[in-house]
Structure 1
Amino acid sequence: MQYRKLGRTDLDVSVICLGTMTWGEQNTEAEAHEQLDFALDKGVNFIDTAEMYPVPPKEETAGRTECYIGTWLKARQNRDKIILATKAVGKSDNTFYRGNEQSRLHGRHLKAAVDDSLKRLQTDYIDLYQLHWPERTTNYFGKLGYEHVEEEDAVEILETLEALGELVKSGKIRHVGLSNETAWGTMRYLHLADKYDLPRMVSVQNPYSLLNRSYEVGLAEVSIREDCGLLAYSPLAMGVLSGKYLGGAMPEGSRLSLFTRFKRYSTELAHELTAKYVALAKENGLDPAQMALAFVNNRRFVTSNIIGATNLKQLESNISSIDIELSDDILKSIEEIHNLHPYPCP
Structure 2
Amino acid sequence: MAEITATVRPTREEVVPSRKRVKLPAWLEVAKPRLIPLLLATTLGGMALSEGWPLSSPRLVCTLGGGALASAAAGVLNCLWEQDLDGRMARTSGRALPSGRLSPTSAFIGAIACTLAAAMLLVSGVNCLAAGLSLLGLCSYVLLYTALLKPRTSQNIVIGGVAGAIPPLVGAAAATGHVGLGGWWLFALVMVWTPAHFWALALLLREDYRAVGIPMLPVVKGPVVTARAIKTYGWITVLLSSLGVFALPSGGAFYGVMLLPYNARLLQLVDRLSLDPDSLVNAKALFRWSILYLFGVCLLLILSRTDLASGFTHQVIQLLSLPTGVH
TM-score, length-scaled by structure 1: 0.27
Q: Which has the higher strand share?
A: 1
TM-score, length-scaled by structure 2: 0.28
CA radius of gyration, larger in: 2
Return the structure number with greater relative CO, CA threshold 8 A, min gap 6.
Answer: 2
